[in-house]
Structure 1
């Protein structure tokens, strides 16, 4: 951003004549905007809908060359953020109007998408996961127990693995899962990778355990000394 434009925008912001919504500030990169384009767009946004396009005034307000004003208008038009419409005013004179409908539409779609993502995240939470594994709704007491696991340092990933371990063994209660988490904590198991390593180590030990040798005696070939 040019230094003059930067200083001018700071002045506008301090004066209260320019407001930048926090949501837009956090998400402008998702709209494929660089910082210069975003701030220029925020200037137009603060001017209101269907503002008369006056390149000279914009150049003066932002303290940038006229060619930069036209550059930003061109790039933001290409990115479907705005349009410059030609309309007739009350005196039947043609005027250029800044139309930000495309920008508002993109922001609306982005907000809806974020809401859906949050819902998906909520639905995939460890509480919902356990309910699906158990095939029933959790009681308030069970919810509190799960919260205590998370508050005491067990990650959602680790809790999920403990639930899988329990259901694999045919046990669907939190007391059993609590014991699993307790044993894992003693072993320093903190994530899925640690769980997998522990399982593999357990399988390896089972394979390496010596099998008790059964003495095979052929009674039909007994020692001849027993014969008369």
Structure 2
């Protein structure tokens, strides 16, 4: 290959194809024929021709002009491609292809995938939470207890991690009942506690307050009890 030919080839430039499009067009229900047509339209647009005709597109493909026209119509009808109008400095109206609907569908797909992953993660956390409660209680939960646990999640909107922390607090306190755990969650919510760190800080202050109160009692030193700080948030 001569240097002149190589330079001509390089000067034609490159086309930028989003990697996400290449790995997800199947999920968008785009077949290979439609995909190639979209890539050719993208190439025309990046080359300055924003509204190539079916004849121009077909000249680069193995499709006939009629086939290209049909595919273009299908892509527009299915919401992957659209034709917009714009005016130039002489107020002449021109039509152009836009791939914005395709990019929008890709973003919607990503959003839905993230939402599905979030829902699956939350469902798994709930399943794990029921298992942890049954392990700590040493028995299957009663229907009333299952309903209470469900209400903490669905109605009171307590994070499963916070509910787990309240369970640990009840275990340490030796008060293994749902009423006590419900009281812990109520107090935490009233005090605006929403994270593990906040719950840990609140628990530490509460225990320190208990210890101070015990130490201030008018008793001989040998009768004073020291209340240890349990880091119940550690797994």
Q: TM-score scaled to structure 2, two decimals?
A: 0.44
Which of structures 1 and 2 has the larger relative contact order (alpha carbons within 8 angstroms, sep 6+)? 1
Q: TM-score scaled to structure 1, two decimals?
A: 0.45
Structure number, greater radius of gyration:
1
